[in-house]
Structure formats: structure tokens, C-alpha cells
Amino acid sequence: MAKQTDAIELQKNFALLIDGKLVETENFLRVINPATEKVFAHCPVADQTHLNTSVSAARRALDAWSSKSYEERAGYIQQLAILLREHKDFLASLLTQEQGKPLSQSVAEIDRGASQSEGIAGIEIPIEALVDDEERYIELQYRPLGVVGIITPWNAPVNLALGPLVSALYTGNTIILKPSPYTPLTTLKMGELMREIFPAGVINFLAGGDELGHEMTKHPEINKISFTGSVETGKKVMASAAGTLKRVTLELGGNDPAIILEDVDPEAIAKKIFFAAFVNSGQVCMAVKRIYAHEEIYEELCSALAKEAKNAKYGNGLDPENHLGPIQNKMQFNKVVGILEDTKKIGARFLSGGTLPDMPGYFFPPTLVTDIDEDSRLVREEQFGPIVPILKYKDVEDAIRRANDTPYGLSGSVWSNDRERATKIAKRLRVGTAWVNQHRATSAYVPFGGAKESGIGRQYSILGLKGYMEPEVLSVVK
């Protein structure tokens, strides 16, 4: 476990990246370790002048960068992936201190980010010939949008930065990236490392609060915003971006259902279901957030999941014995505690957790709840924390109706020994991604994003990459 003196040393080592230069500022953010509730680092804060300077630098760098071939830009991204792997131990330790997740999961996040980056940079975006006859040739080509503003959240700051960053760079755009003020440090360090690779102005990393994000969304010289975060904030981003008709990709919240059919072996799937619900202490947009279990296996599944919850150790993420870390920040902790208190008031039954530990940190034990009404906050809202309801159903049609009865539509899953039957049910979920006998399975080659209020546009795959480009028709008379 890192000593406090080690963390204090980190205070001196952070800077913004603007036009290839590391920039320090007089104003700073206090970054709190959620496992201790103590400030362990200071982070520089960008103002309007820093933003304008970054945008100007990104625009100056745009022509040279966009004129490079896909293969040339992919070469830069390959170097980025190598650099991330070379520095992953340091980055993972820093990520755990600012975000809270177990160190092994921080390492996995960086490894996955590197692999996803390589995957994205291996996707071909061909010119599409629409008509080629004796009279006309018409093709559909794609060109970069320009300067892309990227605003990322605090739950997976490495992965959720690299996806849009690499997509924007590979397609020929230049970028301004702003991480969450709760978890800015690992992102700024990645920017410092990337400075060794990318030409000045191509990448710019700024840190700041909501005001900086708002200035990015309305800035007239930023052509697109990629935002990952809550539905409420996503709506504000879209409204602000509308003033300049910016393109937007919004990856927003979810309330993912998992429908468990009666033919499963509860003991066999419990570990997978539990991990899909509680990884990163439930702070994952596509985590399982509602479990619908058939009445024939309901009690057995409840027992199997409760066993997993009681065996899951939680505590400081730097301790390798812990499976779960804290909730990342006080605001989110208070929200989840509020849902817990409301759940207690309505008389729901707790299979695990439900009592907060008397210890420093924003710790919340893995909590499973049954005998709860469909209209409760825990079922209707995105809890984004380690408290999950298990709901009983008798008829699968009822389960499908209840699963779809939500303004969210990010993802969902169906679990069964009958793959064909489960697939038919999964196709009826009104979500961006429906899985069968799995959850949270993503790939650089597969589009990901939400239906309904869970987002607009897609990340990853050729579909996601085209979202960072302007389609342009070329029509020639022969």
C-alpha cells in the first residue's frame, strides 16, 4: 500500500498540455482519494484563455494532421499503445488513488485501453462507390470534422478518454480533452506521455470544472463534442452545442436489466452476474442494475448472489485482497446512501449489505435487495453504486415489458441454457446492445451506445469512427 508521503510527492508533477507545452497554473483543484477522504494531490485548472489557446493550436495543427494517411496516423496510435503499456504500473497506481478501484482493475483498464486503441486504428474506412455507370460516377467519402472536444467522466477515466481520443485522431481530427475534476490526474499524465509522440497542437489536455466543459460545448471553433456521463448533463451538453450546430456523440447512463430464465443453473451463473453488477462498485454505465429472475429459480439465485456478495471484500484499492473499492466521490456516495435509505423505508428485504461501515472513505458494501416495488427509486433510477435489486417474474412477457419500461436504453442481457430462445428475447430489449449469457462484452470493432435517453451516436467500430467525420458526396459526369 502506498504511503501518504508517496502520494504527497505527486502534487508537484501535474500540468496541462497546450500546443505541445506543459503548462502550470496558479489555480488548482484538490484531488481527493476516495478511500481516505483526504486530499492527496493538486491539479492545475484551465481558464478561458487556456481553452482559447488550445483551440487555436488545434486548428493550426489540423491541416497537417488531417493530410496524413490513415496508415500514418495509425502508426502514431501504435506508439501510444506501446507507451501506455510501458507506464501502466505508474498510471494504474495513480488511477487507483484518484478513482478508488482495485489496482488489478486499474491495470486491466490501461491494458484494455491500449488494446482498444490498436483495434480502432486497424479499422478501414473505405470510399464508397454509390454509382458507376456510363453517365456518372458518384462516391461517398468521409473527411475529418475538425477540432473535437472530449469530456470524460470519473468512473473509468482512462478507457473513456482513449476511445473517443483515438477515434478522433485516427480519423484526422485534432482534440481538446477535459477529464472529470474528480479524476483528472491519470488523464493529464497520459497527455504528458503523448506529448512525446504527437505533433504540437494535435492533442491538448485541460483540467477544470463544469464551467470549462460548458465553454467547450459552446465554443464556435470546436466542431464536435464527445461526452460521456449522466443523462441530465448530456441534455445540457446537447442544448449548449446546438448554438453552433456542433455534432455530438453522447454516451449516457443506463439502467441495464438482466433477465434470468428458469432453465439456468443459478450457482453456475452467479459469479458472472455478480461481477457484471458490482465491478467498480457498480459505477459502470453498462453494469447490470436490475435483475429479473424467474420464480422457479428466484430463491436459489438470490442465495447464490448473496454468497458472492458476502465473499467480496471491499476496501482500499491498493490492497490486493480487496475486490471492490469505494464510491468515487462524496456527491455520488450521498446519492447512493439516499437510495439506500429510501429502500429501507419501503420495507424491502436485504440479502447482503445495507449497513455502512464505520471507517474513513466512501465505502458501501455490496448490497442486494429483494421484495421491492417496481416503482421504487432503486428500480427506476440509475443507482450507479453497489446496490442492486432482484425482482421476481412468472411470465417472460411480463419480464420483457418491465425490462423495457424505462427511459434508459443502454444495454441488457438474457441468460438461459436455450441460446435460441434467449436470443429471440434479447432482440426484444429496447437497448443499444443486447447480450446473451454475457454482459459488458465490448470490442473496438463493435459499435456501442444507447437507445432512448441513454445517448446519441455510437463509439467504436466503423460506425463510431464515421461519427467523427463529415460524409461528403462527390458526383462526376462522365
Any idea which residues carry the catalytic annotation? 251, 285
- The dihedrals phi and psi of 290, each to the nearest 5 degrees, come to -140, 130
Per the CB < 8 A criterion, the answer to whether 184 and 43 are in contact is: yes
Q: Would you mind telling me the total number of residues written for the chain in this entry?
A: 478
Nearest to 154 by CA among 340, 333, 17, 1: 333
Q: What gap in Å lies between CA 365 and CA 388, rounded to an integer? A: 11
Q: Which ranges of 67-127 does DSSP label H, i.e. alpha helix?
A: 70-86, 88-99, 103-120
- Measure the CA dihedral 248/287/116/464, to 10°: -30
Q: What gap in Å lies between CA 143 and CA 458, rounded to an integer? A: 18
Q: What gap in Å lies between CA 315 and CA 336, rounded to an integer? A: 17
Question: What b/e sequence results for 357-369 when a residue is b if at least 16 CB atoms lie within 10 Å of its CB, and e otherwise?
Answer: eeeebbbbbbbbb
For the record, the C-alpha cell of 339 comes out as 437510495
Nearest to 368 by CA among 384, 352, 356: 352
Number of C-beta neighbours around residue 318 at 10 A: 18
Query: What's the first-to-final CA gap in the chain, in angstroms?
Result: 71
